[in-house]
Amino acid sequence: QPSPFMDTQKEELSIPRLIRRKRDGEELQGEEICYFVQAVKEGTIQESQIGALLMAIWQHGMEQQEILAMIKEMMVSGTVLQWPKEWCGIVVDKHSTGGVGDKVSLPLAPALAACGYKVPMISGRGLAHTGGTLDKMESVPGFNVDQSPEQITQMLEDVGCCIVGQADSLVPADKILYAIRDITSTVDSLPLITASIMSKKGAESLSALILDVKYGSAALYKSIESARELAHSLVRVGKHLGICTTAVLSKMDNPIGQNIGNSLEVMESIECLKGRGPADLRGLVTSLGAHLLYMCRKADTLQSGMEQIGRVLDNGTALLKFQAMLEAQGVQAGIARSLCQGNGDVDYFRVMGRAQHQEELRAEKEGVVEAIWAMPLAEMCHELGAGRTKAGTPINHRVGIELLVSLGDHVQKGSPWIRVHRGFPALTDNQKSHLQEALVIGNGKNFTTCSRISEVITSESIDNVQVNKTSEVN
């Protein structure tokens, strides 16, 4: 005779029951969440059930305890990377929620390696308008992002950094969940974003992590409030996982740097590694790097951290790390060398190829450049074939956009402001006028440039806010 106790146990851990509980706004128990994540990993749950639970989570959110249980179970659904003991305290990484022209990782990883850190930068493919970090790196002929955990450890030993794809063995549950979120309109859920990002970072066994949470017209989050909410959630989880975590909120209305598009962004990154390139890109690289140095107590102040990163960009040591990383990941030594030649101008296009056609657009009036909206530019790049909206589709690494003006520049009517690198066919009138809308020219009277980073969030700052709130109530 079956015991009634066994029946309740079974009832407690049934998928329909936990979907129903979440649907009704109840908090799930840790064991229910483990049961769900394991079922996802083992394929014993139907996709419709996964979709239903994700939608219930999207609607009702999750408590901190639920998010943590989910992350821990997702982490152990695959390999958790282990590092040699002597690396304790120096394994660091950076994650950005995605911005137009955001190539910060490319100079930052070798710069940190040049400062003595180990940087296992593991990226997902993502479905960005303009290609993700992996797509950018793959525009260098021969670069191979598929590396085993053993190869990653070896590269960190020899070089200090690598930029690799997420192996199938790393957080496999996230891959499945991400694909289903994408087709069920549940991508923009705070607990699900937190779980996806932090399970991957947890599986990298990091000492410290810097997060760049973007907000603005060309970011996932339009308002600073919602970006701040995500940053708080990420920083809190980081602390629980034993990773020193800081988040910055940075504005994403204008593109980062002057180049958008995969190979064009690599060229600009190499310029940054030569101590040149756009000031805003260098500013982000040195600031984000400085936060990591500060968290790891390698810098007493943020200012000194920024100076240390600035020095390795200026004295060629970061560039040498980048060159060594290219070779370690399969690029022929001659190609890596010609890209990273220190002095003089390098013909990057000769090494990395160039799109068939370049087409320039001209400013329609005279004045000061007050804004260059990133979103229309990103959409154009996507139409040109620089990014993908469906996993697995091929992209064109050479197409993209070069900006010929910067914010605050005075431009003449008829002077070229943008160079579109394209294949076939020519831009239509519609596309051209859409692009022209990205350029805002004014009289410059009310124009000021401000730092991209508008707020820094640490676990201490969150605790302080909570203390302040309590005292306000009192």
Ligand X SMILES: *[C@@H]1O[C@H](CO)[C@@H](O)[C@H](O)[C@H]1NC(C)=O
Asked if 203 contacts 212 with a C-beta cutoff of 8 angstroms, the reply is: no
In angstroms, what is the minimal distance from the CB of 311 to ligand X?
A: 4
Tell me how far, at minimum, the Cβ of 117 lies from ligand X, in Å.
Answer: 12
Q: 105 an active-site residue?
A: no
**d(Cα 326, Cα 324) in Å, to the nearest integer?**
5
CB environment 132-164: b (16+ within 10 A), e (fewer): bbbbbbbbbbebebebebebbbebbeebbbbbb
Span near ligand X by CB under 6 A; candidates 227-235, 311-319, 394-402, 459-467 = 311-319
Q: How far is the CB of 308 from ligand X (least distance, A)?
A: 5
Answer whether 96's CB lies under 8 Å from 105's CB: yes
Burial class from Cβ neighbours inside 10 Å (0-12, 13-18, 19+) for residue 181 reads: buried
The verdict on 196 binding ligand X (CB under 6 A) reads no
Is 200 known to be catalytic? yes
Of 94, 95, 125, 214, catalytic = 95
308 binds ligand X (CB under 6 A): yes
Residue 317 binding ligand X, by CB under 6 A = yes
Least separation in angstroms between CB 301 and ligand X: 15
What's 396's DSSP letter? -
Pairing relationship of beta strands 400-403 and 259-260 according to DSSP bridges:
antiparallel
- Distance in angstroms (rounded) separating the CA atoms of residues 4 and 14: 16
Stretch that binds ligand X, among 126-134, 306-314, 376-384, 410-418 (CB under 6 A): 306-314
The question of whether 321 is a catalytic residue gets the answer no
**DSSP letter, residue 427:** P
Minimum CB separation of residue 277 from ligand X in Å reads 18
Q: Which residues pair with 208 in a beta bridge?
A: 92, 244
Q: Name the active-site residue from 181, 228, 321, 382.
A: 181
CB of 306 or CB of 378, closer to ligand X: 306
For ligand X, the binding residue among 304, 315, 433, 464 (CB under 6 A) is: 315
304 touches ligand X by CB under 6 A: no
The structure tokens listed for 463 are: 């605790």
Catalytic residue selected from 200, 232, 274, 398: 200
312 binds ligand X, rule: CB under 6 A: yes
Measured from each CB, the residue nearest to ligand X is: 315
Measured between alpha carbons, how far is 456 from 459 in angstroms, rounded to an integer?
10
275 near ligand X, judged by CB under 6 A = no
Residue 181: active-site member: yes
Q: Which of 93, 102, 135, 174 is catalytic?
A: 174
In the bound state with ligand X, the residue whose beta carbon lies nearer, of 48 and 315, is 315
| Residue 311 sits in the site that holds ligand X (CB under 6 A) | yes
Check if 21 is active-site: no
Whether 412 contacts 425, CB under 8 Å: no
Site size for ligand X, by CB under 6 A?
A: 5
Closest approach, Cβ 323 to ligand X, in A, equals: 14
Q: Omega before 120 cis (within 30°)?
A: no
Segment interacting with ligand X, rule: CB under 6 A, options 209-217, 308-316, 349-357, 443-451: 308-316
Q: How far is the CB of 266 from ligand X (least distance, A)?
A: 23
Distance separating alpha carbons of residues 114 and 322, to the nearest angstrom: 9
CA dist., res. 227 & res. 7, Å (int): 44
Within 8 A by CB and 6+ apart from 42, the residues are: none
96, 123, 189, 196: which is the annotated catalytic residue?
196
Active site residues: 95, 174, 181, 196, 200
Site residues (vs ligand X, CB under 6 A): 308, 311-312, 315, 317
